[in-house]
Structure 1
Amino acid sequence: MTPDYILNLREKVGKERLWISAVEGMVENEEGKILLAKRKDDGLWCMVAGIIEPGEQPADAIKREVKEETGVECDPVFIANVQSMDEPKVYPNGDEILALNILFYCSAPGRQTPGCPDGENESSGWFDPTRLPSPISLRTEKAVSCLTGARPSPASFLYGGKMAWERQKSIALPPSKAPSHEASLSLRKVSTDGSALSNPRGAMGWAWVDHETGEKESGGCRQGTNQVGELTAVLMALRRFKEGDLLIETDSRYAIGCSRDWVKAWKRRGWKKNDGSEIKNLPLIQAIDKEISQRRGSVEFAWVKGHAGDAFNEIADSLASGYAKDVAKGAREDRLPEESKSSLRGI
C-alpha cells in the first residue's frame, strides 16, 4: 500500500518526481525456492518491494512489506545491494519516482503458503530459481541469478543504469570477529559433500577437502541419510579449521539453510520451526551453530552445482560416496561425531 506521507505529498506536488527510499527482498525458503509476486500495475513477476516509512529501519521495512504483500514471514539475512535508480520510474497514472533501493537477501522458515492479502498483486508463489515465471522483471531475474548462482562472482546488473556486486552470503559477525582486509586475502576454501546409497537408512558418507593444501577427511555409517551426511561434512570442516576466515562450498542448499539462513529464526522460536514443529537433525544444526558462533573469523557459504565439473566438489563427492560404499560392504567402520549419531536415532 502507498504510505500516507506519499499520498499527502502527491496532493501538494501532483505527479512531479519524488525521491524515495525503498526496500526489496529476495526471499528463499527451506526448499531453495524464491518468493515472487506478479504486480497488478505492469503484470511482471518480481521480488517484493516497497517504500520505507519515515523513521522505519530498512530491515523492518522489508519484513513488513513481505508480510503485507504475501502473508509470508521472513528474516533479513544480509544486504545484497544498495543502488540509486539512474532513470525515473513512471507509473501508469503518470506519477514519477526516483528511489534509493536496498536489496535484502531473506530467509523464510517453515512451509508458508503465500497469498495477496493487501491486493497489490495478482498472484504470488514460490519458484525454483532455475525455472522462473514469465514475464519477469530484469532486475529480479538478475538478482536471482547472482544470489543463487553456482559461485560467488561479480555480476552485471541493470536497473536503468549498470551496477555490479560480489555475492557475499556471510554469517553476521560482531565487529571483533569481522575479517580484516589482510585476513580476507588468505580466505580458506573447503568443499563439503554428503552421500547416501539409498535415502533414508542406506549407507551414508561425508567428506571435505581443502582447496589449497588438498587435505581431506571422510567418514560415514551403515545407516544414514543424505541430509545428515551433508551437515556432518560441514561440522567436521568447521572443527578442523577453528580459526581464520572460511568459505564452505557445497551443493546442498539444505546444509546452507540449516547453517546460515534459517538458524536465527529457529533459535528465536526456541529451536522450533515457524509452525511449531520439530526441526530434523537438530543436534547437528546446533553443533554447527555453536562452532560458527565461537570461532574467530568469518564463515561464508557458497552453493555449487553438483556433478557439473567442479573439481573440488567432485573430490568431496568421490570421498563421501566411496566411504558409503566401503562401509556398506563392511570394509570400513562407522565414523561419525556424536551429534550425527543423535540425529540419526529413530530413522
Structure 2
Amino acid sequence: MPLVAIPDFVVALRAVVGRAPLPLVGVIAVVLDGRGRVLLVRRSDTGEWALTTGCLEPGEQPAAGAVREVREEAAVNVVVERLLSVEALDLSVGPNGDQVWWYAVGVRCRLASGEARVNDDESVAVGWFDPADVPPLPAHQARCLELALTPDAEAWLAV
C-alpha cells in the first residue's frame, strides 16, 4: 500500500522527534461543481473515498493550501468561498507509526476550471458525487460536507 507523501519539513521534524506526536495543521476542501456535485478522491493509503485533504506548509494560509492540495490531487482549479470548520482531531497513528495531532480547517470551494483526474500517487481514483450518493466519510469530513451544503451556515468551531 503506497504511503501518502510526507512534506520535507515533517521529515526534518521526524529526524528530531522520531514517531512522537506532532501537532500539524491540515485542510479539508469541500469542492462543489456547477451541478452541486462533490469532488471525492479514493485514497491510495486506505482505499477509502474522502474529501481532498492535506498538510499545510509552514506559513501557508489555509485557503492557499486548499487550492494547492486540490490541484495536486485532482488536477482542478478551485476558488475558496468560505470557512466551514476548525477543530482538533483525535490522535492519528500512520501505518509507519508516526503520530499526529491534526488541527483541521475545513473550507468550501467552487470548481473554477479543469477536468478532475488522479494527479498524484496519493489517490487511485477521483470522482464527482451527488451529495445523496457520497460514501461514508469520517465524522469531521461529513460535518464539513453538511456545512458546505447548508446555505448561510456559520463556521463550526469545536469546543
For normalisation by structure 2, the TM-score amounts to 0.86
Q: 1:102 aligns with which of 102, 105, 126?
A: 105
1:113 and 1:137 map into 2 onto residues whose CA distance is 26
For this pair of structures, how many residues does the alignment match?
155
User: Take 1:20 and 1:72, find their aligned partners in 2: how far apart are those partners?
Assistant: 25
CA RMSD across the alignment: 2.3
SS at match of 2:77: coil
Q: Distance in 2 between matches of 1:152 and 1:108?
A: 19
Query: Does the 8 A contact of 1:24 with 1:50 survive in 2?
Result: yes
Q: Matched residues in 1 for 2:153 and 2:60: separation?
A: 32
- The residue correspondences of 1:1-347 to structure 2 (distance < 5 A) are 1-85=5-89, 87-110=90-113, 112-133=114-135, 135-149=136-150, 163=158
Tell me the CA shift for residue 114 of structure 1. 1.4
- CA contact under 8 A between 2:85 and 2:144: conserved in structure 1? no
Structure 2: state its 5+ residue gaps: none
Residue 95 of structure 1: how far off its partner (Å): 0.9
* Corresponding position of 1:200: none
Q: Which amino acid aligns with 1:61?
A: G
Amino acid at match of 1:103: G
Q: Which runs of 5+ in 1 are unaligned?
A: 165-347
As a proportion of its length, which structure holds more helix?
1
Q: State the TM-score, normalizing by the size of structure 1.
A: 0.42
Q: Percent identity?
A: 30
Distance (Å, rounded) in 2 between the aligned partners of 1:71 and 1:24? 16
> Of the two structures, which has the highest relative contact order with CA contacts closer than 8 Å and spacing of 6 or more?
2
Q: CA deviation at 1:64?
A: 0.5
Is this contact kept in 2: 1:20–1:100, CA < 8 A? yes
> Structure 1: which amino acid aligns with 2:40?
L
Instruction: Find the structure with the greater CA-based Rg.
Output: 1
Given that 1:78 and 1:105 are in contact with CA atoms closer than 8 Å, whether structure 2 keeps it comes out as yes
Q: Distance in 2 between matches of 1:47 and 1:113?
A: 17
Which runs of 4 or more aligned residues in structure 1 lie more than 2 Å from their structure 2 counterparts after TM superposition? 135-143, 151-154
